[in-house]
Structure 1
C-alpha cells in the first residue's frame, strides 16, 4: 500500500501537494519551455493547475501513485513537483515523473529530488524497477536520469499520442540491484 511520506534532501523538502499550490504550479506550466516535452499543453488558466493538483491528489488517495511538492528547505513555496506513477505492486515497479521551474534549472535540485525518490522506492516501497519515459530530444532530462543511475533501454516508436500527434518515448530505467551497486563502496 502506498503511503505518502515527506522526504528531505540537503536543499529540498518534498512535502504533500496542497490546493494552494495551484498558482505556483500555473507559473511553472504556463511556460512553453516546461511543457515542450510534457504530455500537457502550456497552461493559460489557474483552473488547469487546480485540476492537475486534484488529479495528483486523487491518485495518491487511490494508491495509484505519489506526487511531492518540491520546496527549498526553509521556504514553503512550490518550485516543482516529482512523483511516482503507474505504480504496479504486483510487478514491484513505478514510473518517475517531474518538472521544475526554469529559474531553478541547472542547479542540481531535480537530481536531489530524483535520488530521494529512488531511495524511497527501493527502500520503504521495496520496488524492483523504477523507470522514466522521456522525449528523445530532451537531453537535459536524459543526463539527469543518467546521473541518478538510470540506463537508456531504447526508443519506443510512436508510443504516446500527445498534443495531436504520435511521439517517440525513450525508456530509462534502473533495477534494485543497479541501485544497490551505486551505493556500495568500491
Structure 2
C-alpha cells in the first residue's frame, strides 16, 4: 500500500473487541471523561482536562495531523457499547527512515484487561504491512510501568532510558525507549 496511499482515506481496523476508526467530535465526552483524570495524564505531556472543549481540540489536532500526513490516531471503539475507550496511533512519522513512534491512552475503567496490547498489535501490523515501516518505537516515562508492560506484551523490546529527555509539567523527566522491528 505504501505510506502515501494510507493517507488517501482514513483506514478502519478491527480487533476482537474494537473497531479502530477516525475520531469525531462526538467522541469528545468519552475522551474528556478519561483525559480529565489525573491518573491518565500523570505521564502524559498535558494537564488534565477541565473543559470538554479541550477534548474537541485534541480530536481536531489528531485529525489535522492525518490530513497533513504527519500522524494517524485511531479511536478505539468498543464493539459492545459503541463508545471510545481510548486512542492509539503513530506520530513522529519519519518516511525517509521507514519508522514512526506509537502512542496510546486508555480509560482507567479498562486498565488491566489486555485491551491495549490487543490494539497496539493490530496497529503495529498495519504499520509494517501497509505503511512500510521497518521500525516502530515508543517513548514513555519509565515510572509508568504499565505502559512498559503493554509494550513488552505487544512484542516491543526495551532499549534504554534517555535521562532528562523531556521538560514536562515543570520538571525534567526521563524517557524509556522501546521498539519493535519488522521481521522480513
**TM-score, shorter chain, exceeding 0.5:** yes
Separation in structure 1 between the aligned mates of residue 161 and residue 109 of structure 2, nearest angstrom: 30
In the other structure, the counterpart of 1:169 is 175
> Structure 1 segments of 4 or more deviating over 2 A?
none
In the other structure, the counterpart of 1:31 is 37
In the other structure, the counterpart of 2:151 is 145
Number of equivalences: 178
In the other structure, the counterpart of 1:183 is none
How big is the shift at 1:174?
0.8
Deviations 1:133-181 (A, max 9, x none): 010011111111001111111111111111111110000101112xx6x
**Structure 1: runs of 5+ lacking an equivalent:** 181-186
Q: Which residue, out of 62, 65, 68, partners 1:59? A: 65
How big is the shift at 1:77?
1.0
Separation in structure 1 between the aligned mates of residue 81 and residue 13 of structure 2, nearest angstrom: 15
Q: Which residue, out of 97, 105, 124, partners 1:99? A: 105
TM-score w.r.t. length of structure 1: 0.93
Separation in structure 2 between the aligned mates of residue 135 and residue 105 of structure 1, nearest angstrom: 17
Separation in structure 2 between the aligned mates of residue 56 and residue 163 of structure 1, nearest angstrom: 22
Secondary structure in structure 2 of the residue aligned to 1:159: strand
Q: Which residue, out of 113, 116, 122, partners 1:116? A: 122
Separation in structure 2 between the aligned mates of residue 116 and residue 175 of structure 1, nearest angstrom: 15
1:76 aligns with 2:85: no
Separation in structure 1 between the aligned mates of residue 14 and residue 124 of structure 2, nearest angstrom: 13
Separation in structure 1 between the aligned mates of residue 30 and residue 22 of structure 2, nearest angstrom: 14
Separation in structure 2 between the aligned mates of residue 75 and residue 116 of structure 1, nearest angstrom: 20
How big is the shift at 1:74?
4.0
Separation in structure 1 between the aligned mates of residue 28 and residue 79 of structure 2, nearest angstrom: 20
Secondary structure in structure 2 of the residue aligned to 1:5: coil
Secondary structure in structure 1 of the residue aligned to 2:57: helix
TM-score w.r.t. length of structure 2: 0.94
Deviations 1:82-138 (A, max 9, x none): 110001111000111000000011111111100011110010111000000010011
